[in-house]
Structure 1
Amino acid sequence: MFGRTILVLLLLWTQDAVRSLRLVELRVPTHEPEGGMALLGCQYDLEGDTLYSVKWYKDGREFYRFVPKNDPPVYYFQTPGVNVEIGRSSNTVVALVNLTQESAGHYRCEVSGEAPSFATVYRQKYINIHLLPKGGPRVIGLKEQYNLDDLVVANCTLPPSRPKAHLKWLVNDKPAPSSYILGPWYRVSAERPDAAETFLQLSFFATTSDFVNGAIKLKCQATIAPLYQRETESTHYISLPFSMAAHPPEAKEIRDIASSVENTLATIIVPIMMLILM
């Protein structure tokens, strides 16, 4: 009976100890660009306990430790892909700079209370590191003007990226029909074997329905969610004969021109007839 009482008391004490420390929020970005920076936030509530340490791990390997009783309280462990800016880091925030492909991984914040319980809580999130393209999509192969039934062919190319980009063609601000699209294709970059260029071709025969007010607008969009979205847009006109392309005169103008011609002829012919009769 005595042993059972002790066991119950120990269980209640352990539960109280666990409840005394709570990890409120883990703020870790899910996507960041290569070469950029990331702020890792770890908000906790001691609820009466005393802080013993805050530790950060990447893929199970400790790289940052904050112990308030130590002098200095911060210690940084060298870890591949993890570059900590100590001046901007504290017990609740860790600043990572110069992110690389190796920086991707699971990041865990672990908060521990003081003795005798050393209650510990933790949470983790994964960070993806993207290599964003240098510049926007490039379109080649288009002409300024097109005749009806002309073959319109254009290639949209995006510089190397990781992950592969999503390209999309739009015709007059509407997604191009699937029958107009060829691709996408990918080519591994010679400079960055971990990245690839993306290609998407647009090909169709121009019809009257493709031209709005005598023009067709083509757009290539490139997306790497959620960090990158760029587009390239161009407008191309239908090729028409000069007489059709020029603004036709109104009916009143036509009558005025005819009347002027008649008066001019009368001015010339009447004197000639009088000379003949004489």
Structure 2
Amino acid sequence: MTVLLVFGLFVVIATAHNITSLDVPRYGDPHREANLVCYYVNEKNDPPLHSVKWYRGTHEIFRFTPEQLPPTRIFNTTTGGGVTRGSCNLHSCAISVVLPRSYNTRLSFTCEVSTEGPRFAVVKQTKNLTVAVILREDPVIVGVPGIVQLGEDVLLNCTTGNAMPPANIVWYIDGKPERTEPWMVNNTQVSYPNEFGLRNSWRSLRLRVNTLRSLVSVRCEATQPTWPPYVRSANASLVVARSPHLSMFTASGSSTTVFEISIAVLASCLSSVHIFSKYSALSEV
């Protein structure tokens, strides 16, 4: 950053280091410390580094001043986001922060870098962190049969892992949201909290197969109501059989081989062709 200050015939140029990167996680687990890092560089002819300051909101929580002893200082704060330790040099400054135990709280952290006088030019950047335990894995879909019949009812279930705040689940069928009654809009079930206060979510889908296509695609989308929202999803496909009796070969516990299923499919197709040929004349009358 360059600022030109004109006093009569004199021009004073005040420059500051450039902040090249500010690493603040988007989400932070309140059971763990959050690690924040500010990276900066001095350009040619920049004055020496004067200080690096960290703020939580408007409260200063940490300061690094290389020319002082000790060079680092931690400031207590009653608003949460206190610093436990820091490690800084002329190019970066890293701190570890204790997060409040209130989920879905949004915190802002600012890194401010200033250079030596006489003008003490300053640059700063701010990023936000939301206190949440996000889903670490995609949800799991269970109950997907190998093959389904046209007109068959299928019951699927989608379950998430433990998180906080708990996720809301929406089903999509062939890319379109599940059709629900008004009272079913928020029909996601949520478990009791575990020893860490985390909950898992689940939601069932009862689907009647009524498509002429060979596949039905379903997607389970789990969204945590954080800011910004955190989304994970899982996909599955239902294979629609063309033979009305094919599903008996894929029933649970059946020892039928893939070869035997293939023979059954072929026989069904040949039978259909024969019947069609025999009665095609009647169908045209």
- TM-score, length basis structure 2: 0.61
Report if the CA contact (8 A) 2:139-2:222 is conserved: yes
SS in 1 for 2:212: helix
Report if the CA contact (8 A) 1:26-1:109 is conserved: no
The reply on whether 1:204 has 2:207 as its aligned counterpart is: yes
SS in 2 for 1:248: helix
Q: Map 1:175-186 to 2 at 5 A.
A: 175-179=175-179, 183-186=185-188
Q: How many percent identity over aligned positions?
A: 22
Q: 1:55 and 1:189, CA in 2 relative to 1: closer, same or farther beyond 3 A?
A: farther
SS in 1 for 2:7: helix
The reply on whether 1:50 has 2:48 as its aligned counterpart is: yes
Partner of 1:222: 222
SS in 2 for 1:209: coil
Corresponding residue pairs, total: 236
Report if the CA contact (8 A) 2:17-2:41 is conserved: yes
Report if the CA contact (8 A) 2:217-2:237 is conserved: yes
Cα distance in 2, alignment partners of residues 203 and 153 from structure 1: 5
The reply on whether 1:94 has 2:91 as its aligned counterpart is: no
Q: Map 1:8-157 to 2 at 5 A.
A: 9=7, 16-17=12-13, 19-29=14-24, 31-34=26-29, 35=32, 37-45=34-42, 47-79=45-77, 80-87=80-87, 89-91=88-90, 92-96=92-96, 104-133=106-135, 135-139=137-141, 146-157=148-159
Q: Which range moved further: 61-70 or 146-155?
A: 146-155
Q: 1:11 and 1:226, CA in 2 relative to 1: closer, same or farther beyond 3 A?
A: farther
Cα distance in 2, alignment partners of residues 147 and 11 from structure 1: 89
- Residue of structure 2 aligned with 1:248, choices 263, 267, 270: 267
Cα distance in 2, alignment partners of residues 231 and 250 from structure 1: 34
Report if the CA contact (8 A) 1:153-1:203 is conserved: yes
- TM-score, length basis structure 1: 0.62
Q: 1:177 and 1:121, CA in 2 relative to 1: closer, same or farther beyond 3 A?
A: closer
Partner of 1:273: none
Q: Which range moved further: 182-191 or 64-73?
A: 182-191
Report if the CA contact (8 A) 1:36-1:98 is conserved: yes
Two-structure CA RMSD over aligned residues (Å): 4.3
Cα distance in 1, alignment partners of residues 9 and 51 from structure 2: 24
Q: Supply the AA of the counterpart residue of 1:32.
A: Y
Q: 1:27 and 1:67, CA in 2 relative to 1: closer, same or farther beyond 3 A?
A: same
Deviation at 1:70, TM superposition (A): 1.7
Q: 1:151 and 1:25, CA in 2 relative to 1: closer, same or farther beyond 3 A?
A: same
Cα distance in 1, alignment partners of residues 85 and 145 from structure 2: 51
**Structure with greater helix share of residues:** 1
Cα distance in 1, alignment partners of residues 124 and 177 from structure 2: 49
Q: Supply the AA of the counterpart residue of 1:94.
A: A
Q: 1:116 and 1:223, CA in 2 relative to 1: closer, same or farther beyond 3 A?
A: same
Report if the CA contact (8 A) 2:62-2:83 is conserved: no
- Listed one character per residue, the Cα deviations across residues 57-96 of structure 1 (whole Å, up to 9, x for unaligned) are 1112222211111233222334533444435x43523143
Structure possessing the higher radius of gyration over alpha carbons = 1
Q: 1:112 and 1:249, CA in 2 relative to 1: closer, same or farther beyond 3 A?
A: closer
Report if the CA contact (8 A) 1:40-1:94 is conserved: yes
Q: 1:175 and 1:208, CA in 2 relative to 1: closer, same or farther beyond 3 A?
A: closer
SS in 1 for 2:193: coil
Cα distance in 1, alignment partners of residues 21 and 137 from structure 2: 33
